[in-house]
């Protein structure tokens, strides 16, 4: 028997011995088992569940507000700088409250 073949035989034997010695509960779950475990956790209805967020956000970024209004970002920034459209600052971000946007549109209704 040459050296390479001897190494392969020993490696196979060690792999088999290691698998026999390890408890089966330490084995990694299969993808299907992992998905089932995640489904069990996400569908639990205990007190630790978090309420689903509402479908509409409380505030919009400037690009989102521009998209909702159907105008460019420049127009929204112009409205913000002239204080026609109210906004809030969160850290370095400027956000437009959806209620403020709706009220601003309603006030300009003809």
- Residue 93: band (very low, low, confident or very high) from pLDDT cuts 50, 70, 90: very high
Phi, psi angles (nearest 5°) of residue 64: -65, -40
Q: How many domains does the chain have?
A: 2
Q: Give me the mean pLDDT over the 71-93 stretch.
A: 94
8 A C-beta contact, residue 80 and residue 94: yes
The answer to whether residue 77 sits within a structural domain is yes
- Give per-residue pLDDT as tens, 8-54: 777 777 766 655 555 555 556 566 666 666 665 555 555 555 555 66
Domain that holds residue 75: 59-107
The confidence score (pLDDT) of residue 49 equals 56
Percent pLDDT > 90 in the chain is 45
Instruction: State pTM to two decimals.
Output: 0.50
Please indicate whether residue 1 or residue 80 has the higher confidence score (pLDDT). 80
Please indicate whether residue 108 or residue 56 has the higher confidence score (pLDDT). 108
Do 99 and 69 lie in one domain? The reply is: yes
The answer to whether residue 20 sits within a structural domain is yes
Phi, psi angles (nearest 5°) of residue 75: -65, -45
Do 99 and 67 lie in one domain? The reply is: yes
Counting Cβ atoms within 10 Å, is residue 65 exposed (0-12), middle (13-18) or buried (19+)? buried
The answer to whether residue 54 sits within a structural domain is no
């Amino acid at each position: 028997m040459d050296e390479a073949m001897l190494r392969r035989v020993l490696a196979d034997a060690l792999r088999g011995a290691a698998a026999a010695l390890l408890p089966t509960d330490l084995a990694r779950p299969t993808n299907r088992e992992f998905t089932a475990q995640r489904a069990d956790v996400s569908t639990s209805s205990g007190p630790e569940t978090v309420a689903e967020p509402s479908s509409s956000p409380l505030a919009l970024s400037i690009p989102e507000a521009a998209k909702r209004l159907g105008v460019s970002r420049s127009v929204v920034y112009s409205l913000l700088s002239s204080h026609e459209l109210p906004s809030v600052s969160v850290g370095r971000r400027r956000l437009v409250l959806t209620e403020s946007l709706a009220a601003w549109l309603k006030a300009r209704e003809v």
